[in-house]
Chains A and B, each alone.
Chain A
Amino acid sequence: SQTIHQWPATLVQPVGSPLSLECTVEGTSNPNLYWYRQAAGRGLQLLFYSIGIDQISSEVPQNLSASRPQDRQFILSSKKLLLSDSGFYLCAWSLGSTNTEAFFGQGTRLTVV
């Protein structure tokens, strides 16, 4: 069966520090991968999605970047965090070949102080 791992679960980082959140998927090949953010009191905002290695689409211009160095690995990064980067970050995957649901990781609560 397929599983998705996302870490860390919580993170407190100072303003201006770098960020690296990692997500890996097991049990499937060539998944579509996504990074979402849920800001306090708001819905899920799609940040990046990827249909293959090194194929990243950015939905919202921001202080963040994403990379997919391997088929089942998706990394969310920032060189210098801003206070506004605080939020709940979610990684997700889907099969993509047909209409299917996306499966989410447990999320990372990021607090920038």
Chain B
Amino acid sequence: DQQVKQNSPSLSVQEGRISILNCDYTNSMFDYFLWYKKYPAEGPTFLISISSIKDKNEDGRFTVFLNKSAKHLSLHIVPSQPGDSAVYFCAASANYGQNFVFGPGTRLSVLP
């Protein structure tokens, strides 16, 4: 059973518009959430994280929102750029980051 779900395998957005990537989790013990970006044949790179004590974290064009009651988080990218085209993974951890569980990923395509 997947503990971290990303139900949209792909998403296409026009350059300059907002990209919204969604993630749902089932394990209520998760207390830390992360988003990673991955290009083909490379390791994932960390984008942004949020602790369960917050509901929003912002870093430049990237904002992560957490709704604990719904066990849902989302990544907003605004404005979207062609270089943002990649696979985005949502990840969650409990127990102070000893174990990271990843979702299946969403492939974002930003169209010029």
State the A residues within 8 Å of B (CB).
6, 32, 34, 36, 42-46, 49, 51, 88, 90, 92, 94-107, 109
Contact = CB atoms under 8 A, between A and B. Distances in A.
Interface stretch (B57-65, B70-78, B99-107): B99-107
A99 B93 contact: yes
Nearest to B104: A43
Interface residues of B, number: 26
B34 interface: yes
B89 A43 contact: yes
A110 to B, nearest CB: 12
B90 to A, nearest CB: 9
B103 A97 contact: no
A109 B43 CA distance: 11
Given A43-B102, A43-B104, A101 B46 contact: yes
Given A46-B100, A94-B97, A101 B49 contact: yes
Given A99-B31, A99-B32, A99-B51, A104 B100 contact: no
